[in-house]
């Protein structure tokens, strides 16, 4: 299928890019539902890729894949530029960049050993330390959306955390603009930035440090224009019922516990603790800001209210910065002082094994998750040749159709399809018993359905529910596709 990141999410990204490429719009409608709606979705990164595809003819899948290359260079260029005030030693900055790019924990070793534990325990370890949560930057940057959002976020973090005290609120207006851009790219990253802004004075208060109220006031005033603009966008988007329902999905109880830190950070975590102690001992001028940066990520990813698992990705970056000096000294001591190549090599394996393990794991996942049965591919190819319409299909096909065709689906994406679980249960009822054919007739009428895809064994249900309205029946292996006479595809 050519989808390297989590298929169900990556496919939704491609669907939005395709819509922008085909329609030339920067405000989208939701292709994963057939409910009545007006375009209210804004995601700036996908807008840019959609326009790129529109003017160059580049395939949406390739546009998303190839975007990762320039984004990585831009991210590390910005990171290097903004790092100087935090780490005065050039060698520490180099180590910080290397740690951000390649370091990780021991989750893959633990995952292998967990096979000897009870199945329930093993499954929990593998689930909570899954690489796609972004426990480290290398794994997190599998998702180009996260890279794109972190680039403007870096400039906001610099202004809030380690810029010198400004003379006026005007100094923060540019940071507010970057915050506005971050929100348009990835609202979760913007939410994290808000948490960091709040965490700075709170952390200083708890640790007995004097709070610079003038700077806090200027931050607030500097962000007012961006905040008002975002408030206007949110109010406008909330006029659409589907947008309101999608926004409500932000709140969930899925968290990632700090309990996993010994596995997900391992030696890097120890180096970060040593680095934090040194920063405190040396009274580093930005130590409290860095502690606030870390505290905000910990609070959000362990929160039972705000889909905590979405925020663990933000923790690795500050951990690497704080750990850089201690890590460099460790390698210097082992290799240059003790002349121990073996010890140096073992430490390097512990710190930098993630890229190899994550890549290997991703290849295995691709073989398991990205191979699509020929019946589905033939069905998708057939639907791609038909005029755009609304489709009822199994959720697995519904997840793919908007990415590769111009159709919209009644059931398709866990986050973007309203009442996804209820619709999935309804679909299963329809295809499991011909007595439920009335449910299908109601859906077709209410949602102006043009095409129906069901297992071939469930064809009698469709034929009973829609007798006289079926223009064509197309069979591909174990799947049957019905083209309805009332549709524009007749």
Count of other CB atoms within 10 angstroms of residue 304: 11
- Neighbouring residues of 45: CB distance < 8 A, sequence distance ≥ 6: 144, 145, 148, 149, 185, 186
Integer-rounded Cα radius of gyration of the chain: 25
Helices (H), 207-334: 213-237, 241-248, 261-264, 266-281, 287-301, 316-331
* Confidence (pLDDT) at 256: 87
Q: List the structure tokens of 313.
A: 């990705």
Task: State the 10-residue block means of pLDDT for the chain, 490 residues long.
Answer: 73 94 89 90 93 95 94 97 91 97 91 86 89 92 95 94 73 90 95 95 91 87 92 89 73 82 95 96 93 95 84 96 96 87 93 91 77 90 94 95 95 90 94 89 94 94 88 93 70
- Closest among 202, 186, 190, 189 to 226, alpha carbons compared: 190
pTM of the model: 0.91
Q: How far apart are CA 157 and CA 163, in angstroms?
A: 9
């Amino acid at each position: 299928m050519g989808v390297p990141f989590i298929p169900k999410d990556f496919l939704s990204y491609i669907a939005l890019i395709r819509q922008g490429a085909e329609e030339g719009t920067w405000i989208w409608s939701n292709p994963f539902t057939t409910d009545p709606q007006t375009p209210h979705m804004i995601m700036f990164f996908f807008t840019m890729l959609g326009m790129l595809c529109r003017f160059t003819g580049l395939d949406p899948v390739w546009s998303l894949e190839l975007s990762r290359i320039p984004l990585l260079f831009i991210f590390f260029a910005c990171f290097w530029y903004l790092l100087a005030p935090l780490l005065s030693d050039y060698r520490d900055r180099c180590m910080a960049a290397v740690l951000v790019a390649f370091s990780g924990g021991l989750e893959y070793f633990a995952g292998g050993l967990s096979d000897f534990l009870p199945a329930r325990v093993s499954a929990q370890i593998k689930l909570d330390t899954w690489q796609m949560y972004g426990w480290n930057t290398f794994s997190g940057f599998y998702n180009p959306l996260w890279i794109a959002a972190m680039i403007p976020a870096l400039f906001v973090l610099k202004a809030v955390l380690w810029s010198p005290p400004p003379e006026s609120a005007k100094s923060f207006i540019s940071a507010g603009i970057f915050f506005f851009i971050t929100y348009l790219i990835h609202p979760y990253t913007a939410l994290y930035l808000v948490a960091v802004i709040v965490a700075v004075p709170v952390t200083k208060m708890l640790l007995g440090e004097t709070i610079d109220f003038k700077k806090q006031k200027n931050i607030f005033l500097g962000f007012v224009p961006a905040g008002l603009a975002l408030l206007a966008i949110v109010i406008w988007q909330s006029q659409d019922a589907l947008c309101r329902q999608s926004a409500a999905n932000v709140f969930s109880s899925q968290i990632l516990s700090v309990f996993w830190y010994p596995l997900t950070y391992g030696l890097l975590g120890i180096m970060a603790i040593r680095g934090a102690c040194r920063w405190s001992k040396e009274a580093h001028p930005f130590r409290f800001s860095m502690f606030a940066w870390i505290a905000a990520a910990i609070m959000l990813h362990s929160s039972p209210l705000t889909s905590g698992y979405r925020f663990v990705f933000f923790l690795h970056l500050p951990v690497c910065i704080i750990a850089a000096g201690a890590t460099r000294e460790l390698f210097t001591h082992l290799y240059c002082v003790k002349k121990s190549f073996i010890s140096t090599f073992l430490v390097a394996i512990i710190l930098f094994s993630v890229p190899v393990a994550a890549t290997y794991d991703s290849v295995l996942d691709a073989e398991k998750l990205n191979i699509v049965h020929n019946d589905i591919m033939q069905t998708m190819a057939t639907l791609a040749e038909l005029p755009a319409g609304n489709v009822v299909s199994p959720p697995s096909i519904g997840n793919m159709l908007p990415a590769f065709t111009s159709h919209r689906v009644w059931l398709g994406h866990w986050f973007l399809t309203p009442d996804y679980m209820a619709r999935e249960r309804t679909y299963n009822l329809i295809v499991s018993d011909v007595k439920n054919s009335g449910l299908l007739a109601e859906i077709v009428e209410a949602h102006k359905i043009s095409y129906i895809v069901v297992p071939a064994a469930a064809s009698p249900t469709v034929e009973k529910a829609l007798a006289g309205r079926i223009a064509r029946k197309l069979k591909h292996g174990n799947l049957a596709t019905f083209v309805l006479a009332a549709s524009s595809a007749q």
